[in-house]
Amino acid sequence: MPGIRLWPKYLEPAAQRRLVAEIFDRIATAPLYRPVMPVSGKPFSVLETNLGSLGWVSDVHGYRYEPVHRDTQLPWPPIPGLLLELWRDLTAYPEEPECCLVNLYRGGARMGLHQDRDEAALDAPVLSVSLGDDALFRIGGDTRKAATRSIRLHSGDVVMFGGAARLAFHGIDRVIEGTSSCIPGGGRLNLTLRRVGVPGKNKKTPDQGADRASHAPLRAGAGRG
C-alpha cells in the first residue's frame, strides 16, 4: 500500500526491553490516564500518556495538542534518544518529532477506525513502534467506506505512515493476549512519533483561531474510543 513502510522486528529483544524500561520510567512522572471522547465523554479503552514538548489529548472539548499533563500540569517527559534516532534513521523529515503518544492496551482494549489529522505538519510521516502482545491493525483509505485490510503487528515492528497513507483511516481491532512477555503486567504498548507543527507556520490562521483545534469530526463513533 503506497505510503506505508513496515520494518518487521526492527528492534531486537534487548532494544525492546530497554525501550520499555525507559517508557515506564517516564510514565512514573507522566502517569497513564484514560482519555474520554469529545462531546460524549465516553472513555477510551486504551490508557494514554505522552512524551515530548507536545502531547495529543482528547477530552469533552475535543482533540488537540497540549504542552502539559492533564493531572500533574507538568511538562511531558522527554522522548527517549533511541526513538529520536529511529525517527532520524527511518524518516527523511528534516525536523524532530514533538510528540510521542504512548498507548497501552490491556484487557480487551481496542481503538476504533479513525484518521490522525490534528497535526499541522501533514507532510510529516507518523512513525509507529509496537511493543508487547501482537495486535490486529486495520488500515483503509481516505474515506471511512474505503476497503480496509488487516496487518498483524508484532513486538519490535516499526511502521511509517506517510504520503498517500498519512490520512488513511486506521485502528486496532484487537490485541492477542499472551503473545509476548515484553511488557511488565502484560498487554501491548504502541508508541507513535509525530511532527505537530510546521516550522515558520506557527502563527494562528483565522481557521485555527476557532475554539476547537482539531478539524476532526466530533460525531459520535467517528473517533478512537
Please report, as ranges, the residues that interact with ligand MD3 according to CB under 6 A. Answer: 101, 103, 111, 116, 126, 128, 137, 159, 161, 165-166, 168, 170, 172, 190, 192
Give the footprint of Fe ion on residues 75-104 (CB under 5 A).
Answer: none
b/e sequence 120-146, b meaning 16+ C-beta within 10 Å: bbeebbbbbbbbbbbbebbbbeeeeee
- Residue 141 C-beta: closest distance to ligand MD3, Å: 11
Pairing of strands 55-59, 62-66: antiparallel
Our CA angle for 21, 25, 31, nearest 5°, is 125
- Residue 209 C-beta: closest distance to ligand MD3, Å: 25
DSSP 135-200: EEEEE--SSTTS--EEEEE-TT-EEEE-GGGTT--EEEEEEETTS---STTSSEEEEEEE--SPTT
Residue number with CB closer to Fe ion (106 or 194): 194
- Residue 119 C-beta: closest distance to ligand MD3, Å: 9
Residue number with CB closer to ligand MD3 (76 or 137): 137
Closest residue by Cα to residue 168 from 194, 147, 141: 141
> Quick one: DSSP state of residue 113?
E
- Residue 101 C-beta: closest distance to ligand MD3, Å: 5
116 near Fe ion (CB under 5 A) = yes
Residue number with CB closer to ligand MD3 (17 or 110): 110
CA distance 35 to 225: 8
Continuous H helices in the chain: 13-27, 81-90
| Residue 128 interaction partner, one of Fe ion, ligand MD3, none, beta carbon < 5-8 Å per kind | ligand MD3
Closest CB to ligand MD3: residue number: 190
- Residue 167 C-beta: closest distance to ligand MD3, Å: 7
Residue number with CB closer to ligand MD3 (158 or 203): 158
- Residue 43 C-beta: closest distance to ligand MD3, Å: 16
**Which residue matches cell numbers 506557527?**
202
Residue number with CB closer to Fe ion (22 or 116): 116
Q: Interface residues with Fe ion (CB under 5 A)?
A: 116
